[in-house]
Amino acid sequence: MQADRRPIRTSRDYFPLLDLLRGLAAFLVVLEHARNYLWVDFRELEKPSQAIKAIYFVSHFGHEAVMIFFVLSGCVVGRIAVQRCEQGRWNWRFYLFERMSRLWIVLLPALVLTAVIDRSLVAWTASTSFVHSGGFANIQAMPISGHIGMTDFAGNLFFLQTIAVPTFGSNGPLWSLANEFWYYLVFPAIWVGIFGTMRLGARAGHVGFGLVVLWAVGPAIAGAFPIWLLGVGAYLLGRDRDWNPHLRWTGLGLSTVCTLAALAATRAGRLGVWGSPLIGIGVAAIIVFGMNVQLPLTVQKVCSLFSSFSYSLYLVHLPLLTLMVAPFIADNHARLQPGAIGIEALAVSMMVAYGVAYGFYFLTERNTGRIRAWLGNKTGL
């Protein structure tokens, strides 16, 4: 069956609050990596001010920010399967074409950029180990020279990082892209299997396929799938819901406070394994109550801008930071105290990473629709 290519987006399908959350999550990831690269560990600080302590506190939410990305992804991508199944126009070929083109148009150039940067650093510097973030507000040496072969490149291109190969070179954030891709397969398989209109045997096959894939990818990826599903649940609960204004803002305020409290408690080490699920629940509640909230036009434009290239930023920021700082702090040496020079270095490195990532987006991600249309004409999709 030929998929209906008409857009499914309606006036209620664009949620400005999701742009705000996506932009903030991307900022937290970049901030953590830049601060870990450039500044000494907290225990090495020399008489830190309260402001510096606050920066160290806020700049260690990178992992939690990825959990926020998972919830947002579940809301946005899960919606596609839900809507198309409800409309009786689910088509695997068209769905996979959309998802793969969306991912690869940015991922392939990002892997090439990572390879160029990492191979250049290995050639230019005496060390083959470069810093990456890890542990509690620490950085560690990582032998990237052993992670930049063609097998690693191909494995990351086909989303096998953390399953069959390591993340490619210095691009540690690629771990979460494997999660995302396999969730893109598992959820629609199970959803269509349960709610689709095909014959019972085909539906059972869909559910079985989804469960087998979830088992095959391993406990690390499967274990975070419920957090991704929270985004689907948020969409189902929040779509087309006209909240009483008082209830909406009360719910939005409480869910925001609870999410911030969960973030703070997680940062303090008080929630253990429950930290990510509780943060996910809080973000899902924010989406439920805030899904149809319209932000002021200026705020909406800013959020839309930073959200638009968040995927590109996520995929290229760490190799860019590595290029800027690894020659100076290879093997965990020569990091800065957060004085005037340290603050300036942090600000400049982040601005460069954002600026280059936006240029990368302009050449790749921004043209997704155009490239997808060209490929669709060539393949008949």
DSSP states of 79-97 as a string?
HHHHHHHHTT---HHHHHH
The predicted pLDDT at position 6 comes to 35
pLDDT band at 10 (very low <50, low <70, confident <90, very high): very low
Least confident range from 17-26, 114-123, 309-318: namely 114-123
Say if residue 360's pLDDT is above 50.
yes
252-297 residue pLDDT tens: 999 999 999 999 999 888 888 899 999 999 999 999 998 888 888 8
pLDDT band at 156 (very low <50, low <70, confident <90, very high): very high
Helix, strand, or coil (residue 159): coil
Least confident range from 4-8, 51-55, 249-253: namely 4-8
Say if residue 372's pLDDT is above 60.
yes
Residue ranges in the chain assigned as alpha helix (H) = 16-38, 50-58, 62-86, 92-124, 150-157, 175-195, 200-216, 219-223, 225-238, 245-267, 275-290, 297-308, 310-329, 340-363, 368-379
The predicted pLDDT at position 130 comes to 56
202-245 residue pLDDT tens: 999 999 999 999 999 999 999 999 999 999 999 999 888 888 88
Say if residue 182's pLDDT is above 80.
yes
Least confident range from 19-23, 92-96, 335-339, 351-355: namely 335-339
How many Cβ atoms are within 10 Å of 217's Cβ, its own excluded? Answer: 22
Say if residue 146's pLDDT is above 90.
no
Q: What is the mean pLDDT of the chain?
A: 87
The predicted pLDDT at position 310 comes to 96
Q: Name the nearest CA neighbour of 202 among 98, 95, 92.
A: 92
Task: Please return the burial class of 148, using the count of CB atoms within 10 Å of its CB with bins 0-12, 13-18 and 19+.
Answer: buried
Task: Report which of residues 217 and 147 the model is more confident about.
Answer: 217
The predicted pLDDT at position 328 comes to 65
The predicted pLDDT at position 239 comes to 85
